[in-house]
């Protein structure tokens, strides 16, 4: 998981840097016939991404970047030449040209003189923007994915999620949308969603300079170890985006806490298998007996298993005693704190501490999950 995250981050950085290299050095103004560029060529990362995702050769990718750069310069001039007749513009990748929509033929020659192709349309950009603004004021149902001004269609396009076109609430929205202005309806394969990760058991989170692991998703958040953070402390996910805050935390005496989830994150009833085993669905929290097998998922040492050795054990940490703990033969290391203990598909508890490591072995304690749920009045998110 960490390698995957690092790879995602590295690729994102390379692509961003590549985009900046190709487009960020664009001069403030450009001649109608640009002089030969003295800039460095586009980065290999950007060209490689274009070849992979757009199906281009390297030469085609370089030619497209050059054409897009020219179109960016032409668009500013063409918009000025069109004046109030401007209806929007778009880049035609097949021809490598900018097309500009205008509502009055009298402005066409002036726009063509900038190097753009012209298309006559009915609605200008201000009319289309006003229509979209009227749609923005409506309350859209879940079956409507998005809407935007499409200058090529010369309409406001409403994207409806596949299979929802005939929903009553979608039909009602579309009827109101058509009253707002020129509208076209298109189908989109899926509903939009954010791309922050769900709160998955075993995944890392960060608070201050501490990294711990998610225990189990509950409705509204997740449970974890109390020693990982104090009440109100901010929590950030594996990608360092904000998740929420510690809503309750107890340590020593106990070692449990819960964090609320928001800001584009959501909860899922899953514990990471880290490629060792398939990710595990959580279906309940029936407590396994002493001697039963149990496994642990954490952000440092990932997936390890052992047996339940004892229950209701008091652990005497240097910070103070913690009561009602369950002892296991499963190893753990720093950063695994708070992570999931699971037996089959039943949640057992959150990792507290232990001794040893996953090279030489050791023992680890967990705080039983049912005690945490009862203490804070939480409901486990189950499959």
Catalytic residues: 227, 255, 337
Q: Residues, the chain, total? A: 383
Three-state SS for 144? strand
Three-state SS for 319? coil
Three-state SS for 152? coil
Give the pair of three-digit tokens for residue 288. 């396994």
Task: Tell me if 315 sits within 8 A of 296, measured CB to CB.
Answer: no
Decide the pairing of beta strands 97-102 and 117-120.
parallel
Rg (CA), the chain: 29
Q: DSSP letters along 32-47, please?
A: SSPPPP-SPPPPHHHH
Task: Tell me if 283 sits within 8 A of 216, measured CB to CB.
Answer: no
Q: How far apart are CA 5 and CA 18, in angstroms?
A: 20
Beta bridge partners of 188: 161
Task: Tell me if 118 sits within 8 A of 102, measured CB to CB.
Answer: yes
Closest to 245 (Cα-Cα) out of 207, 295, 285: 207
């Amino acid at each position: 998981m960490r390698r995957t995250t690092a790879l995602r981050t590295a690729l994102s950085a390379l692509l961003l840097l590549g985009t900046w290299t190709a487009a960020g050095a664009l001069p403030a103004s450009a001649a109608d016939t640009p002089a030969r560029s003295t800039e460095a060529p586009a980065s290999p990362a950007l060209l490689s991404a274009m070849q992979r995702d757009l199906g281009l050769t390297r030469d085609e990718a370089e030619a497209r970047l050059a054409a897009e750069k020219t179109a960016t310069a032409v668009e500013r001039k063409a918009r000025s030449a069109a004046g109030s007749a401007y209806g929007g513009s778009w880049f035609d990748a097949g021809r490598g040209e900018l097309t500009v929509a205008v509502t009055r033929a009298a402005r066409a020659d002036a726009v063509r003189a900038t190097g753009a192709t012209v298309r006559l349309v009915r609605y200008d950009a201000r009319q289309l923007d006003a229509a979209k603004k009227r749609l923005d004021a409506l309350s859209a149902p879940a079956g409507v994915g998005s809407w935007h001004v499409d200058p090529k269609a010369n309409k406001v396009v409403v994207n409806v999620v596949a299979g929802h076109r005939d929903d009553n609430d979608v039909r009602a929205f579309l009827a109101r949308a058509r009253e707002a202005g020129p509208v076209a309806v298109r189908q989109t394969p899926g509903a939009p969603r954010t791309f922050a990760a769900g709160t998955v058991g075993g995944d890392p989170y960060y608070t201050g300079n501490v990294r711990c692991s998610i225990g189990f998703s509950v409705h509204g958040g997740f449970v974890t170890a109390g020693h990982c953070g104090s009440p109100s402390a901010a929590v950030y996910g594996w990608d360092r985006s904000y998740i929420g805050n510690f809503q309750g935390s107890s340590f020593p005496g106990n070692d449990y806490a819960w964090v609320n989830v928001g800001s584009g994150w959501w909860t899922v009833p899953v514990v990471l298998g880290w490629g060792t085993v398939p990710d595990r669905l959580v279906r309940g929290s029936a407590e396994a007996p002493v001697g039963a097998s149990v496994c642990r998922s954490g952000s440092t040492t990932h997936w390890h298993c052992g047996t339940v050795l004892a229950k209701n054990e008091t652990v005497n940490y240097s910070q103070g005693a913690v009561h009602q703990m369950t002892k296991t033969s499963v190893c753990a290391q720093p950063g695994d704190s708070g992570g999931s203990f699971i037996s089959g598909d039943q949640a057992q508890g959150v990792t507290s501490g232990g001794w040893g490591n996953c090279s030489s072995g050791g023992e680890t304690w967990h705080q039983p999950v049912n005690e945490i749920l009862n203490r804070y009045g939480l409901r486990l998110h189950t499959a």
